[in-house]
C-alpha cells in the first residue's frame, strides 16, 4: 500500500544528514537535548505503544508513571512541580534548531536540538499550566521513550478540566556514556526507533478488532472519566496544592466524612506501586461550613474502590 511504501522509504537523506551533524556536534554535551516528537498520536495508538513497551523487560530503568505540573512563565522559564511534594525546579530551554520529517501520512516527526539549563526561581506571570502524567522507558542508557498524557490551559482550573492529549517523544540521553558511538550509528538508531513507534501507531488504528475510541475513557471500575462521583466516608482524599502560592488545603488530607459531602468529578485513574487503582478527582463548586469554594478548588486522589456514582451506587 501507499502507506507502507512511504514508511518503507523513510527517512529521507536530508533527515539523516542533519541528525548526524547534531550528534557529531552535541552528543557529548550534558545540557544538550536531541529529540524527536511524533505527531498525530491518538489514545488508541498511545495505549498500544504503552502496552508493547510495558510488556518488555529490556529497559535500563524501572518505568513508572510520574505526575507533574509545569508552569510556563512568560519569560520562557518552565517551573516543574512534583505532584504530592513541595519540590520545584526551574529550567530554561533554548532551541538551537528543528525541522519536520514525514514518517507516514498520519505521523509527522519534529526533530529538535536544544540546550536546557537549570535557572533561578522565576517570578514572572504564568501563561500556561500543563498537568503531565509521564512514563519513561530507557534503552541501553542511550535513548529514552517518553509517553505523556497531558492536560493544559491558560489557567490551572482550565488545565485540570481540559481534554487529555497524548505525546510520544524519543530523546537521546547518552551524553555521559563512557564509550560514545559514532554519529552515524546514533542517527540510524534514533531513526529506527522512531520508525518502530510509527509502525505500532499505524497497526493500532488499522487492526480489524479496533473499536472506535469512546468519547470518555471508562476505568476498570466502570466509572467514566468526567463522570460525577462521591467519596465514601471511610476514605480520606489526599489533596494537591490548590493553586500558585496557595498551601495544600486541610494539611494535604481531607477527612472522609468531609469528602463525602463534596461533589466530585472523576478526572482519570492510574495505579500505585502495588497495582491498586487510584482515582484522581476534582471538586465541583461547593460549600464547607460557611465558606464557599469555586470549581476544581480541591484536587486529589483516593483509592478507586472508595468511589461511587453521584447517585450512590458503587461500580
pLDDT tens digits along 4-39: 556 666 778 899 999 999 999 999 999 999 999 999
In a domain, 145, yes or no: yes
- Same domain, yes or no: 79 and 151: yes
Tens-digit pLDDT string for the chain (315 aa):
556 556 666 778 899 999 999 999 999 999 999 999 999 999 999 999 999 999 999 999 999 989 899 999 999 999 999 887 778 999 999 999 999 999 998 999 999 999 999 999 999 999 999 999 999 999 999 999 999 999 999 998 888 888 889 999 999 999 999 999 999 999 999 999 999 999 999 999 886 554 444 444 556 667 887 789 999 999 999 998 766 556 788 888 999 999 999 999 888 888 887 888 999 898 988 999 899 888 778 889 999 999 998 775 554
In a domain, 67, yes or no: yes
CA-to-CA dists, residue 44 to 184, 200, 212, angstroms: 33, 10, 9
Please, which residues have CB within 8 angstroms of residue 233's CB and are 6 or more apart in sequence? 256, 257, 259, 260
- Same domain, yes or no: 55 and 121: yes
Dist CA 308 CA 223 (whole Å): 8
- Same domain, yes or no: 193 and 264: no
Show the domain range for 103.
2-206
The beta-carbon contacts of 238-242 under 8 Å, at least 24 apart in sequence, are: 238/84, 238/300, 238/301, 238/302, 239/298, 239/299, 239/300, 240/83, 240/84, 240/299, 240/300, 241/81, 242/297, 242/298, 242/299
Dist CA 88 CA 83 (whole Å): 10
pTM of the model: 0.71
Per the structure, the count of domains in the chain is 2
Give the pLDDT of residue 210.
43
Structure confidence by residue, pLDDT tens digits, 145-192: 999 999 999 998 888 888 889 999 999 999 999 999 999 999 999 999
- Same domain, yes or no: 90 and 195: yes
Amino acid at each position: 500500500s501507499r502507506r507502507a511504501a512511504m514508511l518503507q522509504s523513510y527517512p529521507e537523506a536530508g533527515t539523516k544528514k542533519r541528525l548526524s551533524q547534531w550528534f557529531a556536534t552535541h552528543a557529548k554535551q550534558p545540557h544538550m537535548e536531541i529529540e524527536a516528537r511524533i505527531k498525530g498520536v491518538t489514545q488508541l495508538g498511545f495505549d498500544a505503544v504503552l502496552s508493547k513497551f510495558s510488556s518488555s523487560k529490556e529497559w535500563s530503568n524501572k518505568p513508572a508513571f510520574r505526575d507533574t505540573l509545569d508552569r510556563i512563565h512568560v519569560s520562557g522559564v518552565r517551573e516543574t512541580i512534583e505532584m504530592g511534594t513541595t519540590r520545584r525546579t526551574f529550567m530554561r530551554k533554548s532551541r538551537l534548531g528543528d525541522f519536520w520529517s514525514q514518517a507516514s501520512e498520519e505521523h509527522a516527526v519534529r526533530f529538535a536540538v536544544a540546550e536546557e539549563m537549570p535557572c533561578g526561581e522565576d517570578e514572572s506571570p504564568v501563561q500556561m499550566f500543563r498537568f503531565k502524567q509521564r512514563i519513561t522507558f530507557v534503552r541501553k542508557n542511550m535513548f529514552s521513550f517518553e509517553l505523556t498524557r497531558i492536560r493544559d490551559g491558560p489557567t490551572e482550573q482550565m488545565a485540570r478540566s481540559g481534554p487529555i492529549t497524548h505525546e510520544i517523544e524519543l530523546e537521546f540521553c547518552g551524553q555521559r556514556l563512557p564509550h560514545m558511538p559514532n554519529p552515524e550509528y546514533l542517527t540510524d538508531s534514533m531513526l529506527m526507533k522512531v520508525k518502530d513507534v510509527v509502525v505500532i501507531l499505524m497497526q493500532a488504528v488499522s487492526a480489524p478488532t479496533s473499536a472506535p475510541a469512546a468519547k470518555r475513557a471508562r476505568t476498570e471500575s466502570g466509572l467514566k472519566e468526567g463522570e460525577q462521583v462521591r467519596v465514601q466516608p471511610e476514605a480520606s482524599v489526599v489533596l494537591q496544592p490548590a493553586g500558585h502560592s496557595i498551601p495544600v488545603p486541610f494539611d494535604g488530607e481531607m477527612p472522609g466524612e468531609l469528602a463525602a459531602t463534596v461533589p466530585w468529578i472523576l478526572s482519570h485513574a492510574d495505579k500505585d506501586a502495588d497495582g491498586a487503582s487510584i482515582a484522581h478527582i476534582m471538586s465541583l463548586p461547593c460549600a464547607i461550613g460557611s465558606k464557599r469554594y469555586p470549581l476544581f478548588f480541591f484536587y486529589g486522589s483516593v483509592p478507586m474502590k472508595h468511589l461511587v456514582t453521584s447517585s450512590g451506587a458503587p461500580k
